[in-house]
């Protein structure tokens, strides 16, 4: 790890890197502060933080009001160059980004999600001591011409589709915050029991 460094980077190189190596490719993403991982001068990883996506998270996760969002963050994108997968590079990167963000800004808590539909479990977040809080509730989104319509249903033009569920992870840094989500214990392999059984049944 001696040759590695972490710096704040601009959106443009981050977007190009994410498009090339993240499983969501060029899907738009929110961003407030972006850290880049460098091996000497080569960008090999990107970690993106932004404010919470919806105000209801402040209510549901922490019992706060919808407007009490200051210091609540999400880790919205995380990707590392395939050649550096394994060897603890990603967990090393994330753990240091968490510390850098706390030094720069007010950080009461950080949330992140792992896309269950894409087979992601969030093992990196567990390795960085995040609390596992189960999966998001089942919900449906309304689509017109392949795009989510945020406001209102138009009869006969669109369709409802299930929203992919995600594993929820939380880091809490403010001792005054009270986590409302239930923390789920994991087995020695880092899997909650229900998920371990699912993997056995699916032969994975």
Decide: residue 101, CB within 10 A, 0-12 exposed, 13-18 middle, 19+ buried: buried
Rounded Cα gap, residues 195 and 23, in angstroms: 22
Q: Which residues pair with 139 in a beta bridge?
A: none
| Overall CATH class of domain 4-136+165-202 | alpha beta
The model's pTM is: 0.83
Rounded Cα gap, residues 90 and 67, in angstroms: 33
Per-residue pLDDT of 83-98, as tens digits, reads 998 778 999 999 999 9
Tell me the pLDDT band of 140, cut-offs 50, 70 and 90: confident
**Confidence at residue 110, expressed as pLDDT on a 0 to 100 scale:** 98
**Confidence at residue 8, expressed as pLDDT on a 0 to 100 scale:** 98
Other CB atoms closer than 10 Å to residue 166's CB: what's the count?
Answer: 17
Six-digit token string for 171? 């880091």
Higher pLDDT, 115 or 51: 51
Q: What is the mean pLDDT of residues 68-82?
A: 96
Q: Which residues pair with 80 in a beta bridge?
A: 45
């Amino acid at each position: 790890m001696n040759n590695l460094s972490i710096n704040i980077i601009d959106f443009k190189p981050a977007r190009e890197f994410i498009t090339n190596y993240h499983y969501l490719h060029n899907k738009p993403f929110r961003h407030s502060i972006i850290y880049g991982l460098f091996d000497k001068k080569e960008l090999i990883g990107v970690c993106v933080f932004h404010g919470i996506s919806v105000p209801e998270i402040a209510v549901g996760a922490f019992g706060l009001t919808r407007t009490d969002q200051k210091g609540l963050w999400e880790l919205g994108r995380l990707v590392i160059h395939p050649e550096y997968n394994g060897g603890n590079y990603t967990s090393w990167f994330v753990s240091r980004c968490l510390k850098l963000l706390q030094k720069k800004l007010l950080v009461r808590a950080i949330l992140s999600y792992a896309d269950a539909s894409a087979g992601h479990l969030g093992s990196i977040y567990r390795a960085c001591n995040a609390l596992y809080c189960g999966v998001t509730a089942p919900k449906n989104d309304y689509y017109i011409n392949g795009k989510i319509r945020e406001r209102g249903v138009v009869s006969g033009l669109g369709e409802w589709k299930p929203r992919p569920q995600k594993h929820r992870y939380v880091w809490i840094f403010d001792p005054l915050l009270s986590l409302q989500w239930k923390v789920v214990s994991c087995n020695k392999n880092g899997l909650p029991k229900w998920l371990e059984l699912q993997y056995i049944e699916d032969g994975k």
